[in-house]
Structure 1
Amino acid sequence: MIGTIKINWKNCFGIKQLEHEFKFENSKPIHLLYAPNGSMKTSFAKTMKFLSGQSKEKPCDKLRPHEESKFEVFVDTNVISKDSIFVVNGDDDIDSSASFVNFLASSELKSKYDEIYKKLTKEKDALMTKLKSASVSSNCEKEIVEAFSSSNDTTIFNILEGLCDKVKLGLPLYEFKYNDVFDTNGAVKNFLDANKDNLKEYIANYEKLLSKSSLYRSTDGFSFGTYQASQLLKNVSDGNFFGVKHKMVLQNNVEITSHEQLNQIMVEEQEKVLNDAKLKKTFDKITKAIDKNTELRFFKAVIESHPEWIVDILDYDEFKKKVWLGYLAKEDIKPLFDSYIQVYNDNKKELLAVLEQAGQQQEKWKSIINLYKDRFHVPFKVSISNQKDIILKQEAAKLQFSYVEEGKEPIVSSQKELETILSRGERRAFVILQFLFEMESRKISPNDTIVVMDDIADSFDYQNKYAIVEYIKDLAVRGNNKFYILIMTHNYDFYRTIASRLSSSLSKLWMVERKSDGNISVEQGQYKGDVFANAFVGKDKDDKIFISMIPYVRNLIEYSNGENDDKYLLLTSCLHQKNDTLSITESQVIDIMKSFTRGKGMKRTDSGKKMYDIIMDTAESVANEPNPNLVLLQNKIVLSIAIRLMAEKYLKEKILATGFPEKDLEVKGTQTGQWTEIYKKKCPNDSNRTIIERVNMMTPELIHLNSFMYEPLIDMSIYHLTKLYKDCKNLSV
């Protein structure tokens, strides 16, 4: 059981400093954090990914890499282990290979398999190490699989088994740096395809010359070339053949009676073929074409050393196989190959039996697929097509997708193909599927897991959003007490949904703000329910709350009585510069609000002040708070209203100073916006124009349009509003 997670970070990507402790009490394993975009979410997730091993990017300050970084996380009193963290983001693929292996076979079968797999891997790795040394290939195992693979189900294990008979035969050895001919960029293959005519001409001339040679021959489908001759020379090198007076007779009746004579004839015949003028002319064409591409300089060196290989190289894919077979048959490599084959054969029967039994244990992954299908609304079906190979290869499962349209046959498609036609939210559903496998695997793990969720439901439609909320609830309630969850979101609706639906599992709500010095503040969460009823009504003795209720009540009047209602117009005059703005009393506003407080009544008593004076005095107080609360809505609403009133006062005075008729300033609708347009035309060079532009950008939705959908207010930094307030206060005509 985890009691606390303590974080102490400094200079971790965009996080300058963060110290916070998450406590888990009373079987409530979830902490919910609302973090506006740009505050810390991505940096937090990236740092946790590094600590979990999901990322190799070490936390640092990208702009000031010389500054020291700290990224300590303690679980209770212990340094966190990477195996106990898992980070999920809706946009990032998840490597679920280990989790598939964990639950697609029973522990008993898995143990048997691991024992066999360990033996095979030890022999295979010894073979690959020797092959790498000989071939200088960048990735022997991958190259061999690509060379001999006949289907997607092919593995290095069954490839090596299939090559056994061929390696026994003894094969030609082509010694060169493997990637000089089989380069990863495909430059050699492209060259061969583009120069087939010259290469075929070379091969035709080469084979014609061979047919005339007294030693090298190519006729009736049989060929005796340089490899066969070199093997023959090797086999008689010990002197035993010629030592007992054996001799060889060539087709032209020349008798060979010694190893030295055979070697001499080989050299002479090869030089005769390769120095042929016509053949050399064709070879020169080939090398000139190679010189046009600097990527081919190593390939050129190979064929200049062995021009006779061109005959084999042109059949590129077959040559690739010949090269590997030659290495496997090499005298210092073949014993390692034989040792691997012996171990494989000794364990093959038991291995196949384990895989057969594992194939019958399908219930777990089927239940996860069914869970996904039942809860998430996506236009495709999912199945797993290769359960045995998941265990054998230790790779991620091959998920088979079928695109589904009502009334039509499902279309089997790959994930890549589907992603081109799905919405962003539907594409993210792929990640959720991988997430389900990861979490279900961790349920049977002996360790607890801290799960960090970074905007996991962003871009989801509501049905899928609610589905992931319910799955999070499952982890909290039925996760075997193994999951401790930190949910981060910039979506306030998702924040409220989680807070509402998972209240019984929530340890705490948090709101994250970036302070003026760049440090991260994690404050007590607010506003999970009805803000007007829960956060404002009944607390109106507070000037900030009382002022903040004005736009809310005004909206209620608009929806119930319309914009021509006297009460609506009076409250509008509290928010805009109207003829009666300065004369409206606190008593008038209290009387209007009384009927909109849901029976709770108003607790405020009339002070006899004008409403305008209350607004401006309260805004001044907020703007001068030494350590303002970064979260509270009322601070931001009061500042926004005061900013609007000061800006409109300035606009009115500037416009009237140009001789513009005052009666024409009486407008309906967006008064600030309309006055601003008049101001721009009448005062195009005014030095305060940028301040007025900021007012129009920052305050409209904060006061009017989002009185109920108040996410812009929460996202807006109190420091930005305070700066704008002070700038507006200094406006003078």
Structure 2
Amino acid sequence: MAKINHISNPEDIERLLVELFAKKEYNSELDFYETILNISKNLETNEKVGSFSQIKYGVIFNEKITGKGGFLLDSRNRSLLKKYVERYKQLIEESKYFNLNFTHTSAEKVVSQMEEAHYFDTQSKKETKAEQNGFQLYNKQSKERDPKEKEELIEEIRKLRSELLNDLEFSAHLAAIDKVLDAKSTKITKKFKEYIFDPDVVDFLSFLGKSDLSFAKRELIYSYLVDSGDSFTIFINQTAAAYKAIEGLVHRVRADESSVWHKAVDEFNSRFRVPFIVSVSNEEKDKVLLNGLKLQSLEYWFCSICGADANRICEHKKEEMVQVSERNLTGGNENSILSQGERRAFYLLNIIFEIKYRKENKIPTIFVIDDIADSFDYQNKYAIAEYLKEISDTSFFRSIILTHNFDFFRTLKQRLEIKAPEEEGDWYFLAEKRGDQICLVSQKDTNIIDPFEFRGQDSCFFIYQNCNRDLS
């Protein structure tokens, strides 16, 4: 993929290829692998790929040139460029020495390369590219260097360049382009100005004028890949192997998480008192992305028979309900068909899934639960207590539960039935602010009869559950 580094950095390349060839947003490496494999298949059937591999993607396709308000997005500028390209090609074809493969720019590069190779300092008798295109650099009979040949060559190139640039029609087109680019003057536009004399770029601009930008971008990248030869073939083989491995992993994870979602949804429907039920969609088209993995989406069914009555668990069949969107369930207060407490119960569904997923995969976890009772309707507080009980019964889960609600504290103390060994210390506390100190008062063996004795005090009940001294 080295050729594509013409674009930017590797992250940009992955995102660009997915958005350009797959025409979708980049979500994960899996998208990138799929795109690369599809590109490879397209190249096998696409025999006509332009030779544009020497063109730098970033010089042509950037915010100033092809972005919003960019040079090439203006139809007038594209018309100017089209006229410039047509006249440029015509002058090159009419030239005695130049052609589209060897322009004045190419000749100047040849002189520079000859100097670097100490051509003018040696008795080399090799015929150069310039000579092949008509330049007489030395006396072919004597094969001796003419001391003035370098100056003569440079002067010849200067004259030919002058003839090209002094053409009235050509110079008018070039001046018009210069004027627009100078108004947007940046390093990028200056580079583009220099670039449009390159024969490869001129050819590409001609191609660009006949196609949309996305198509031109794809063709340029195709040319990079074709030019990379065996390197791209090796990369494709590696990509295919990686894709197969990752796809297998995704299928396994999807199956595991799908099973957990079904359990979480069943538990939510059975425990919580809300006027709707949740089901897991079985439609492939309804699968959604979670961290780059395709998972089942959820369906929400509102019970019009129960209405807003959340005092009992809905026992009506799905056929008697109306399917609604998550937006209608949880939208703003004026739009939502659920009460605030019911909406909070709905959001708890994700937490239920997370707990079950961690439990099935035996992931050690510390949960910090802060005043959770105040977030739900009275009827659903006891469903919360059931989940906290489930956490307390799991050996690799730890939890720290805080609440200002005395009734909820007493319910948990009775429901969780946590017995702390003497050597572990107390696990139930009342946190009180006394002066400038926070004091933890043991509630392990204390039955608080009058909660109003704490009224007006800055106090909080604190349960340190299933946590030994070493939490590592």
Quote the Cα distance in structure 2 between the aligned partners of 1:403 and 1:714. 44
Does the 8 A contact of 1:514 with 1:520 survive in 2? Answer: yes
Q: Deviations over 1:66-98 (max 9, x none)?
A: xxxxxxxxxxxxxxxxxxxxxxxxxxxxxxxxx
Structure 1: runs of 5 or more not aligned: 1-126, 217-224, 238-255, 292-296, 537-547, 549-631, 634-709, 718-733
Q: CA deviation at 1:157?
A: 1.0
Does the 8 A contact of 1:499 with 1:528 survive in 2? Answer: no
Q: Residue 339 and residue 394 in structure 1: after superposition, are their counterparts in 2 closer, same or farther (change >3 A)?
A: farther
Q: Deviations over 1:605-629 (max 9, x none)?
A: xxxxxxxxxxxxxxxxxxxxxxxxx
Q: Are 1:301 and 2:301 matched, yes or no?
A: no
User: Counterparts of 1:330-341 in structure 2 under 5 Å?
Assistant: 330-331=227-228, 335-341=230-236
Secondary structure class of the residue paired with 1:190: coil
Secondary structure class of the residue paired with 2:292: coil
Q: Residue 484 and residue 320 in structure 1: after superposition, are their counterparts in 2 closer, same or farther (change >3 A)?
A: same
Secondary structure class of the residue paired with 1:512: strand
Q: CA deviation at 1:714?
A: 3.7
Q: CA deviation at 1:304?
A: 2.1
Q: Are 1:715 and 2:471 matched, yes or no?
A: no
Quote the Cα distance in structure 2 between the aligned partners of 1:274 and 1:160. 47
Q: CA deviation at 1:471?
A: 1.7
Q: Residue 329 and residue 452 in structure 1: after superposition, are their counterparts in 2 closer, same or farther (change >3 A)?
A: farther
Could you tell me which of 195, 198, 214 is aligned with 2:76?
Answer: 198
What residue in structure 1 maps to residue 386 of structure 2?
470
Does the 8 A contact of 1:511 with 1:526 survive in 2? Answer: no
User: Counterparts of 1:399-548 in structure 2 under 5 Å?
Assistant: 400-402=297-299, 404-406=301-303, 409-412=322-325, 432-446=348-362, 448-456=364-372, 458-477=374-393, 479=394, 481-491=395-405, 494-504=408-418, 508-514=427-433, 516-517=435-436, 520-525=438-443, 534-535=449-450
Quote the Cα distance in structure 1 between the aligned partners of 2:362 and 2:244. 32
Secondary structure class of the residue paired with 1:139: helix
User: Counterparts of 1:205-244 in structure 2 under 5 Å?
Assistant: 205-206=83-84, 208-209=86-87, 212=90, 215=93
What residue in structure 2 maps to residue 150 of structure 1?
23
Quote the Cα distance in structure 1 between the aligned partners of 2:356 and 2:278. 20
Secondary structure class of the residue paired with 1:157: helix
Could you tell me which of 215, 218, 225 is aligned with 1:321?
Answer: 218
Under a length normalisation based on structure 2, what TM-score does the superposition of the two structures give? 0.58
Quote the Cα distance in structure 2 between the aligned partners of 1:418 and 1:716. 33
Quote the Cα distance in structure 2 between the aligned partners of 1:353 and 1:174. 38
Q: CA deviation at 1:450?
A: 2.2
Identity among equivalent positions (%) equals 20
One-letter amino acid of the counterpart of residue 397, structure 2: F
Does the 8 A contact of 1:210 with 1:273 survive in 2? Answer: no
Q: Deviations over 1:307-342 (max 9, x none)?
A: 4566639944334434543444453xx544322312
Q: Are 1:369 and 2:265 matched, yes or no?
A: yes
Does the 8 A contact of 1:511 with 1:524 survive in 2? Answer: yes
Q: Residue 146 and residue 453 in structure 1: after superposition, are their counterparts in 2 closer, same or farther (change >3 A)?
A: farther
What residue in structure 2 maps to residue 160 of structure 1?
36
Secondary structure class of the residue paired with 1:191: coil
One-letter amino acid of the counterpart of residue 402, structure 2: M
What residue in structure 1 maps to residue 466 of structure 2?
none
User: Counterparts of 1:252-331 in structure 2 under 5 Å?
Assistant: 259-260=132-133, 276-288=170-182, 290-291=184-185, 297-307=186-196, 308=202, 312=208, 315-331=212-228
What residue in structure 2 maps to residue 172 of structure 1?
52
Q: Residue 277 and residue 179 in structure 1: after superposition, are their counterparts in 2 closer, same or farther (change >3 A)?
A: closer
Quote the Cα distance in structure 2 between the aligned partners of 1:326 and 1:389. 37
Secondary structure class of the residue paired with 1:163: helix
One-letter amino acid of the counterpart of residue 33, structure 2: F
Q: Residue 527 and residue 464 in structure 1: after superposition, are their counterparts in 2 closer, same or farther (change >3 A)?
A: farther
Q: Deviations over 1:401-428 (max 9, x none)?
A: 445444575245689x965555765665
Quote the Cα distance in structure 1 between the aligned partners of 2:41 and 2:5. 24
Q: CA deviation at 1:445?
A: 3.8
Does the 8 A contact of 1:401 with 1:412 survive in 2? Answer: no
Q: CA deviation at 1:162?
A: 0.8
Quote the Cα distance in structure 1 between the aligned partners of 2:5 and 2:382. 55
What residue in structure 1 maps to residue 8 of structure 2?
136
Does the 8 A contact of 1:303 with 1:310 survive in 2? Answer: no
Q: CA deviation at 1:159?
A: 0.3
Q: How many residues align?
A: 368
Quote the Cα distance in structure 1 between the aligned partners of 2:446 and 2:68. 62
Does the 8 A contact of 1:400 with 1:413 survive in 2? Answer: no
Quote the Cα distance in structure 2 between the aligned partners of 1:259 and 1:430. 79
Does the 8 A contact of 2:288 with 2:296 survive in 1? Answer: no
Quote the Cα distance in structure 2 between the aligned partners of 1:485 and 1:274. 83
Q: CA deviation at 1:716?
A: 7.1
One-letter amino acid of the counterpart of residue 498, structure 1: L
User: Counterparts of 1:571-582 in structure 2 under 5 Å?
Assistant: none
Q: Residue 151 and residue 364 in structure 1: after superposition, are their counterparts in 2 closer, same or farther (change >3 A)?
A: same
Q: Residue 181 and residue 483 in structure 1: after superposition, are their counterparts in 2 closer, same or farther (change >3 A)?
A: same
Q: Deviations over 1:332-361 (max 9, x none)?
A: xx5443223123446777876776677666
What residue in structure 2 maps to residue 189 of structure 1?
67
Q: CA deviation at 1:156?
A: 0.8
Q: CA deviation at 1:497?
A: 4.4
Q: Which moved more, 1:135-144 or 1:499-508?
A: 499-508
Secondary structure class of the residue paired with 1:172: coil
Quote the Cα distance in structure 2 between the aligned partners of 1:274 and 1:522. 92
Q: Residue 347 and residue 367 in structure 1: after superposition, are their counterparts in 2 closer, same or farther (change >3 A)?
A: same
Q: Residue 320 and residue 213 in structure 1: after superposition, are their counterparts in 2 closer, same or farther (change >3 A)?
A: same
Quote the Cα distance in structure 2 between the aligned partners of 1:503 and 1:346. 53
Does the 8 A contact of 1:510 with 1:525 survive in 2? Answer: yes
Q: Residue 212 and residue 350 in structure 1: after superposition, are their counterparts in 2 closer, same or farther (change >3 A)?
A: same
Q: CA deviation at 1:166?
A: 5.0
One-letter amino acid of the counterpart of residue 173, structure 1: S
Q: Residue 282 and residue 714 in structure 1: after superposition, are their counterparts in 2 closer, same or farther (change >3 A)?
A: farther
Q: CA deviation at 1:455?
A: 3.9
User: Counterparts of 1:32-47 in structure 2 under 5 Å?
Assistant: none
Quote the Cα distance in structure 2 between the aligned partners of 1:162 and 1:274. 48
Secondary structure class of the residue paired with 1:438: helix
Q: Residue 347 and residue 489 in structure 1: after superposition, are their counterparts in 2 closer, same or farther (change >3 A)?
A: same
Does the 8 A contact of 1:513 with 1:520 survive in 2? Answer: yes
One-letter amino acid of the counterpart of residue 437, structure 1: F
Under a length normalisation based on structure 1, what TM-score does the superposition of the two structures give? 0.40
Structure 2: runs of 5 or more not aligned: 111-128, 136-156, 197-201, 305-320, 421-425, 461-472
Quote the Cα distance in structure 1 between the aligned partners of 2:166 and 2:184. 25
Quote the Cα distance in structure 2 between the aligned partners of 1:187 and 1:514. 65
Q: CA deviation at 1:484?
A: 1.5
Quote the Cα distance in structure 1 between the aligned partners of 2:34 and 2:413. 53
Quote the Cα distance in structure 1 between the aligned partners of 2:396 and 2:419. 14
